[in-house]
Amino acid sequence: MPKWGKVVFRAVGVLNAAAVGLGVYCLSSPFYPILSGRMASPCVVPFLRSAYGAMLLINLLFLGGLLVTAIRFIQARSTAVNLYSIIVLLLVV
């Protein structure tokens, strides 16, 4: 692989890791208000906690996969492209 290819892979990896960090922050900011009941009372929205928990687990799986691809991009492995493509395709579908 040429040197510029490794630079591009590492740049994509760093951007991907930053996006994962932003995603974790956005997922964790409403975590306490929802679980404590300050966001909405359980009698008004009875299934908010379980729905949020399900969404949280699904999003954490995607973020974990994207973090793995970010590490592989930083290591300049070409297999990261296939894994990244599959994860983004699953996310879109």
Residue type, 40: A
* pLDDT by residue, tens only, the chain of 93 residues: 788 888 998 999 999 999 999 999 988 888 777 777 777 776 777 787 788 889 889 999 999 999 999 999 999 888 889 999 999 999 888
Q: How far apart are the first and last CA of the chain?
A: 32
- What are the Cα distances from residue 85, in Å, to 11, 27, 65? 17, 23, 11
